[in-house]
Amino acid sequence: MMSLRKRDLQVLLIKRRSWPYEGMWAIPGGFVNIDESLETAAKRELQEETGVQDVYLEQLYTFGDPGRDPRTRVITVVYFALLDSERLQVRAADDAADVGWFSVYDLPSLAFDHEKILHYSLERLRGKLDYTTIAFSLLPEQFTLRELQRVYEIILHKRLDKRNFRKKILSTGILEDTGAKKMEGTHRPARLYRFNPEAEAKL
């Protein structure tokens, strides 16, 4: 689960309570019960380890190399969520010793092959910016073009040309001018936009 915090792209990790890798940070997760679906298991584990619930999860990829887990042969189906962290209250639940947000660009040592999983997740997220509306999940209902560009820059980890970005994003029709304005520093008021779901197919 990733989010923007303090103008940084961060991932939610838990500190493992037991062997293997006791005391190390890891992506929230666990085993699937015999009577539940993969998505149900993913949501259950997320709640059990972080207290987070009622979030949309998207299946991302399957990792199945041998030797990934010293206990037994494990195949991991990764689910991904990109959320506004201000709407969440995370806590270390029963299955975790601690929980915290970490910059994807400055990660601690991770258990299992979770560094590989996070690297793949970041690359997939960057790719999705070109053909999905995933960036809007990190913004309030109304936002400025500057705020939207900042989301793209943080995820891509690079600066974007202001004029080219605005020309491209406005040409899609994905934004709707609300008619309202917002003060940004000492500059003149900036227009406030909202996401137009009816134009999503244009991306």
Task: Indicate the length of the chain as a whole number.
Answer: 203
Which one, of 191, 104, 180, lies nearest residue 145 by Cα?
191
Q: How far is CA 203 from the centre of its chain?
A: 20
pLDDT digits (tens, 9 = 90+) for 105-118: 999 999 999 999 99
Is the pLDDT assigned to residue 127 strictly greater than 90? yes
- CA distances to 63, 97, 102, 193 from 13, in Å: 18, 11, 7, 33
Q: For position 202, what pLDDT does the model report?
A: 58
Q: According to the CATH classification, is domain 2-128 in 3.90.79.10? A: yes
Torsion angle in degrees (nearest 10) through CA of 33, 48, 120, 80: 90
Percentage with pLDDT > 90 across the chain: 64
On the question of a cis peptide bond just before residue 20, with omega within 30 degrees of 0, the verdict is yes
Q: Where are the domains of the chain?
A: 2-128, 134-202
DSSP at 36: S
pLDDT exceeds 70 at position 133: yes
Query: 72 to each of 30, 64, 75, 149, how far by Cα in Å?
Result: 13, 12, 10, 45
Q: What is the DSSP letter of 63?
A: E
The reported pTM is: 0.85
Average the pLDDT over each of 28-42, 84-98, 155-169 and give the range with the smallest value. Answer: 84-98
The answer to whether the CB of 53 falls within 8 A of the CB of 43 is yes
Class of domain 134-202: mainly alpha
Cα 117 from Cα 139, distance rounded (Å): 25
Comparing CA positions, the residue from 152, 78, 156, 66 lying closest to residue 121 is 78
